Structure formats: structure tokens, C-alpha cells
Amino acid sequence: MTKNIAVIRGDGIGPEIIAQALKVLDRIGEMYGHTFTYTDVDMGGCAIDKYGDPLPSEMLEKCLASDSVLLGAVGGNKWDTLPGHLRPEKGLLRIRAGMGVYSNNRPAKIWPQLASASPLKAEIVQKGIDLIIVRELIGGIYFGEHKTEGDRATDLLTYTEAEIERIGRIGFETARKRRKKLCSVEKSNVLDSSRLWKKVLHRLAEEYPDVELNDMLVDNCAMQLVKDPSQFDVIVTENMFGDILSDEASMITGSIGMIPSSSLGAGSCGLYEPIHGSAPDIAGKDVANPIGTILSAAMMLRYSFDMSAEADCIENAVSAYLDEGCRTADIMSEGCRLVGCTECGDIITANLKR
């Protein structure tokens, strides 16, 4: 099978971590008889430097023509003073909207080998952390009108019933494939948009009698994630709440560098990326953790290419790497061996077994 992957190396540590993921994909292709071809796409700060645009239209077209997109990271201090429409992050919003990927799925799972790296108490971690946050990705306050007039600034948060229903269905369907528990997170005691969210989710619940639906206010959810994350299976929420909660959930697992994500819409072409940023302070030092990117490639195989065995192979190789006591600096602990970004990729590639 041949698949064309659009590759956005991006800024900061992006090129380093992408290189390791491609190394793993190439080996998977050899083992399972697939051919993965790569089309380089400029997005973010590097595109601003080259074209004066964080995502030129021809680059978006390359993504739309691909079978899926693998993204490293974009942004950095170098571009922080640019006007909003020219910031690297604008490229992220544009590619999500352009690809129509309205559902961002971020798993937060504690690897047994990294239990001691979690900032939570051991008795909390021992109860287990294995949840998925389903975040609406192309609506809400990030895509509303943004306006500054004198000393007054406004940002518009808007959702339609249709937008809520389609992400709600993803939440229910995801929960149905897991432990059949769905937590809908909103702020319905204050926001009209959240009251509409709650209404639509409860209407959908009638179609999924096998899934237990619970409502939770976003501030309570933030507290419960550190008090008892084992209570959660699938969380579905709007764009900004999901952005914040998924970062919190990733840190309770031990390192943001370990967490992959997938963004999908109506078709199979998805956007896959680690949830961390470009970390310009460590760029070029070969110390970044590429596992979040490698696991994002595994998610691509599983969810866009229907290659479950190949995805399992990658995840097992990551587990074997951790069993060997190898650690990048962000998850380093006593008694383990410190490795760099490139060596991490080499070891995981060597651990790939059918």
C-alpha cells in the first residue's frame, strides 16, 4: 500500500522530532510492505521567513492533496512581535479550518514505566490514568471575531447546534469503543453557548443508551483531573476548554513530550501532531523527546490508514524502549540512561517487531 504524507517540520525542535518519526515510518513500511512518500510543507515561522505568510495557499493545497498530514511544531520567540494575522499559530488555525478537522483527540495515558514521573501522589497514579479528551477544533472563541477598539478588546464565542452535535457524536462513539463513560465539560452556569452545548449533548444521549453521560463544569473538571483522573474515560468539550484541559491532562502523565494527538473531520485525511510546542530553547541540541511525534505517526496509521497492527508495533516498541530504562531529559529519573533525540528514535526503530 502506498500513502502520501504531507510533512510539516515547522520550527524549533520540529525538524528533529519529525526526523525520528519518519525513521520509524520508513522501517514500518519495510516490515509490512508499505510505501510512505513524503511531501514537505512549509508552515509557521519558517513559512513567514520564506513567504511572509504562516501558511501560503499552495502549502495548504499540498496538505489537502495528501493522504494525511504529520506536523512537528510551529512558533517561537522570533515571531512573537508580529501582528496577529502573521503569527505562526495563525497557520495552525488556517490548516485546521482548511482541512475541516473539527475533532481533536488527545489521549492522556500513564505508561507504567513512567509512573514515578507524574507530579501526582503515588496513590492517585496507582488508580490509573487512561483518558481521551475530544476537543472541538474549528469553532468557538478561537475562530470568532477578534476586535480591539481603543482600550476595549472583544473575542466572540459562537457555536451552532450542528457544530456541537458533530463533535458530540465523536465523543459518544469514542466512549462506546472504550469504557462507555462520557463526561461533557462546559460552563453552563454562566455561558449561553455552554447551555446550548449541554442541551445538544443530552439530546444525543438518547441515541446512545449504552453510554453513561455526566455533565461537569470546566473549573471542577480542572480540579478533578488532579484529584482523581481515574474517574474519566472520555471527555468532550469545546475548543478553548479542551486546549487548556488537555495540556493539564498531559502533564499529570509525567511529560507533555509523550502525548500524541489526532485531528479528524468527515474524511480519513487527518492532521497528526504531538501536543507540545516548538521549544526553541532546546532546538538543535538533540535533547528533545520525539515520542509524542512517533506516537502521533502511530495514530495516523491506526485512524487514517486502517493499519492497526502497524500502530501496535510502534506502541510496543516505545514500551520496550521505556523498559530498557532509556530516557530523554524531560522524563529522566534515577537509575535510567540519558539519551538524546536521535538515539531515542534509533532505539525505538530497532525495537520494532511484527
Residues with active-site annotation: 142, 187, 219, 243, 247
Cα 282 from Cα 294, distance rounded (Å):
19
Residue 73: enclosing H or E segment and its boundaries? strand 68-73
The DSSP line for 191-214 is -HHHHHHHHHHHHHHTT-TTSEEE
**Residue length, the chain?**
354
CA distance 275 to 72: 9
User: Which residues have CB under 8 Å from 323's CB, separation 6+?
Assistant: 113
The 2-10 sheet, strands edge to edge: 35-40, 2-10, 68-73, 271-274, 260-264, 103-109, 130-136, 234-237, 181-186, 212-217
| CA 87 – CA 82 distance, rounded (Å) | 6
Whole-angstrom Cα distance, residue 82 to residue 273?
24
Q: CA 307, 99, 160, 87 torsion: positive or negative?
A: positive
Sequence-distant (6+) residues with CB within 8 A of 83 are: none
- Name residue 129's amino acid: I
Question: The cell 514500518 sits on which residue?
Answer: 28
E strand intervals along 129-277: 130-136, 146-149, 152-155, 181-186, 212-217, 234-237, 260-264, 271-274
Q: Cα(17)–Cα(5) distance, rounded to whole angstroms?
A: 16
DSSP state of 219: H
- State the burial class of residue 209 (Cβ atoms within 10 Å of its Cβ: 0-12, 13-18, 19+): exposed
Cell 492522556 found at: 108
